Amino acid sequence: MSDRPEIEIRRQTAFGEDGQLEVTETSVETSLDDFGADVDHRDRDTRLDRPEASEFGVDDRPEVDQASDGEQSTLFADTAKDQQTLGGENAAAQCLYDE
């Protein structure tokens, strides 16, 4: 069963041998698999697993470990608001990844 809406097809085209679009009489279905993409077809429950309290008004849920920051880094330098660069510009507004 699919969650995709049904689409009314009036005319369907496909690429012919010469690379031009041609009207087709039969239905043509493609997916990312047809183009070599690695597609995960498993059904997943996207809801976060959050522990519940045993009764109303009592918070006896276990502590949840926070996820690590990973390999992310800041986009701007951590500086004081009045700090300046050697050129006299505001240092807080300097992007660390200027090209």
66 located within any domain: no
State how far the Cα of 48 lies from the Cα of 46, in Å rounded to an integer: 6
84 located within any domain: yes
Question: Residues 5-41: pLDDT tens digits?
Answer: 776 767 778 888 898 988 887 776 777 777 788 888 7
19 located within any domain: no
41 closest CA partner among 52, 28, 49, 32: 32
Where does the pLDDT of residue 2 fall: very low under 50, low under 70, confident under 90, or very high at 90 and above? low
Domain that holds residue 99: 73-99
46 located within any domain: no
State how far the Cα of 79 lies from the Cα of 92, in Å rounded to an integer: 5
Would you state the pLDDT for residue 67? 64
81 located within any domain: yes
79 located within any domain: yes
Q: What is the reported pTM?
A: 0.24
Would you state the pLDDT for residue 98? 62
State what percent of residues in the chain have pLDDT above 90: 0
96 located within any domain: yes
95 located within any domain: yes
Q: How many domains does the chain have?
A: 1
